[in-house]
């Protein structure tokens, strides 16, 4: 662009210096310079319009802004040079006489200016090619803008999907936090129960040792009384033999009869005393036997309670070390899973068995209460009387003891029979007998696994 303005400047100098003698050539050069100036202005305006049109494209906008600034700066420089040339033209007019003398020299340089004119034409064609390249860049930038718009819409959709996933993960995290706090509270309650049971167990152990010592003392007293009783029995048998001897010698010892009668009465009193003592010892022995049997029963009860407490302690300890597979819910010592589909009682049980579990067995009121909040739909449970009508049993073979039948159930009201049990959600999860081929969801249960 600077070369073009230099050439325009040289053309203007040539025009001014040759205007005195070659008026026709001067007009031609003035027209050529005017056309080149207008072309330069048009190119500058086109570049500025391109810069404004693609101002939204950040990379291209920065480059076009730079070009615009450079072109504006160049235009200002050329304006300054034009004003300077105008002043110079006035000076040249005043020095027309001296320029006339230089006419011959300018004529000699006419060929040089002609060559420069050709260079200007070459520059014009070069600018035309630059314009074509700018047009090609414009179409390329347009395509790139469309691609960027397409990418932007795709990224917007992907962002919406990620926002939805983030919301879902946030809800799941909140549910897991709630479950964790609930499990923590349950663990604290179990720890408190374990401490209380441990203290009670220690007290029972102390009571058991005290009772054991008392039992040993009673055993020793019983042994002593038994020995005394045996001695009395021996004395009694000896006295009986003596009495027989006295009776045998009564006829021959008539003279001694009074003495023997006295002795006999004495022996009779002693015998009565011995009988009274024997009765007293027998009653005391019976009391001791009763006390011993009572203590034995209490000891057995304490042993049974100790075994039960030991089992409870072991279960509590094992509870803190058990877990369930992903998707299952733990309660007490079992894992529970609500099926995602509905089918018959038999297919539901087979599905649970394929998962290493079986249909639900309810063993306590706490478990029934937990299940009331576990599901909000009607579900099969592992209770039926399919083997014997009216004899309801759980699938593990245990008879039905704890029941939560709905009012009037079971009634076996269906035409094909109602041999399988369900939990009905809208009745507080109470039980109802139903035809086993009915399609319902089911609850699987299995023991929690050891960590």
Q: Where are the domains of the chain?
A: 2-164, 326-450
Burial letters 250-263, b for 16+ CB under 10 A, else e = eeeeeeeeeebeee
pLDDT at 277: 83
**C-alpha distances in Å from residue 132, one per residue of 2, 51, 124, 323, 385:** 20, 16, 12, 74, 92
Higher-confidence position of 13 and 118:
118
pLDDT tens for residues 285-334? Answer: 888 888 887 887 887 778 767 777 866 766 666 656 678 999 999 998 89
Q: Is the pLDDT of residue 39 over 90?
A: no
End-to-end alpha-carbon separation of the chain, Å?
A: 82
Q: Which of 11-25, 72-86, 249-263, 328-342 has the highest mean pLDDT?
A: 328-342
pLDDT tens for residues 237-261? Answer: 887 788 888 778 777 778 888 888 8
pLDDT at 1: 46
Q: Is the pLDDT of residue 425 over 70?
A: yes
In the chain, the percentage of residues whose pLDDT exceeds 90 is: 23
Longest dimension (CA), the chain: 213
Range from 40-44, 162-166, 233-237, 412-416 carrying the lowest mean pLDDT: 162-166
- To the nearest 10 degrees (0 to 180), the angle between helices 110-248 and 23-53 is 10
Range from 61-65, 139-143, 200-204, 416-420 carrying the lowest mean pLDDT: 61-65
Rounded to the nearest integer, the mean pLDDT of the chain is: 82
pLDDT tens for residues 85-110? Answer: 888 888 888 888 888 888 888 888 88
Range from 142-146, 189-193, 364-368, 403-407 carrying the lowest mean pLDDT: 189-193
pLDDT at 58: 60
CATH code reported for the domain at 326-450: 3.10.100.10
pLDDT at 6: 46
pLDDT at 164: 79
Higher-confidence position of 344 and 113:
344
Model-level pTM?
Answer: 0.34
Q: Is the pLDDT of residue 381 over 80?
A: yes
Q: Is the pLDDT of residue 65 over 90?
A: no
Average pLDDT (218-226) is 79
Phi, psi dihedrals of residue 182, rounded to the nearest 5°: -65, -45
Q: Which of 81, 82, 85, 54 is nearest to 68 (CA)?
A: 54
Query: Computed from CA positions of residues 290, 292, 296, 302, in that sequence, does the dihedral angle turn out positive or negative?
Result: positive
Q: Is the pLDDT of residue 18 over 50?
A: no
pLDDT at 317: 60
Range from 271-280, 292-301, 411-420 carrying the lowest mean pLDDT: 292-301
pLDDT at 41: 84
């Amino acid at each position: 662009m600077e070369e073009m303005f230099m050439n325009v400047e040289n053309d203007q100098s040539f025009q001014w210096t040759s205007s005195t003698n070659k008026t026709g050539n001067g007009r031609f050069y003035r027209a050529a310079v005017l056309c080149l100036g207008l072309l330069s202005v048009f190119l500058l305006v086109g570049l500025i319009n391109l810069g404004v049109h693609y101002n939204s494209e950040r990379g291209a906008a920065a480059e076009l802004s730079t070009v615009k600034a450079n072109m504006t700066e160049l235009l200002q420089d050329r304006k300054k040079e034009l004003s300077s040339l105008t002043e110079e033209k006035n000076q040249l007019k005043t020095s027309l006489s001296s320029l006339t003398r230089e006419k011959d020299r300018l004529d000699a340089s006419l060929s040089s200016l002609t060559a420069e004119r050709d260079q200007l034409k070459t520059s014009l064609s070069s600018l035309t090619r630059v314009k074509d390249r700018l047009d090609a860049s414009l179409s390329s930038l347009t395509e790139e803008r469309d691609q960027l718009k397409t990418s932007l819409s795709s990224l917007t959709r992907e962002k919406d999907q990620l926002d939805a996933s983030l919301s879902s993960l946030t809800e799941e995290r909140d549910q897991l936090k709630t479950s964790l706090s609930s499990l923590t509270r349950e663990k604290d309650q179990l720890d408190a129960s374990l401490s209380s049971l441990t203290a009670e167990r220690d007290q029972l152990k102390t009571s058991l040792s005290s009772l054991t010592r008392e039992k040993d003392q009673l055993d020793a007293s019983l042994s002593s009384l038994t020995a005394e009783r045996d001695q009395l029995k021996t004395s009694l048998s000896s006295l009986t033999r003596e009495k027989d001897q006295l009776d045998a010698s009564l006829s021959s010892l008539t003279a001694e009869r009074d003495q023997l009668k006295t002795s006999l009465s004495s022996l009779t009193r002693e015998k009565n005393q011995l009988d009274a003592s024997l009765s007293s010892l027998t009653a005391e022995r019976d009391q001791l036997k009763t006390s011993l049997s009572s203590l034995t029963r209490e000891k057995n009860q304490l042993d049974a309670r100790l075994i039960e407490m030991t089992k409870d302690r072991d279960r509590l300890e094992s509870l803190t070390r058990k877990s369930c597979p992903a998707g299952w819910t733990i309660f007490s010592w079992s894992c529970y899973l609500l099926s995602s589909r509905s089918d018959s009682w038999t297919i539901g049980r087979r599905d649970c068995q394929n998962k290493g579990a079986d249909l639900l067995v309810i063993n306590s009121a706490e478990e029934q209460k937990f299940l009331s909040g576990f599901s909000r739909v009607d579900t099969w449970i592992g209770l039926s009387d399919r083997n014997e009508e009216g004899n309801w049993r759980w699938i593990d073979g245990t008879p039905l003891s704890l029941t939560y039948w709905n009012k009037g159930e079971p009634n076996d009201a269906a035409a094909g029979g109602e041999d399988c049990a369900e939990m009905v959600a809208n009745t507080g999860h109470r039980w109802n007998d139903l035809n086993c081929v009915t399609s319902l969801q089911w609850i699987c249960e299995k023991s929690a696994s050891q960590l």
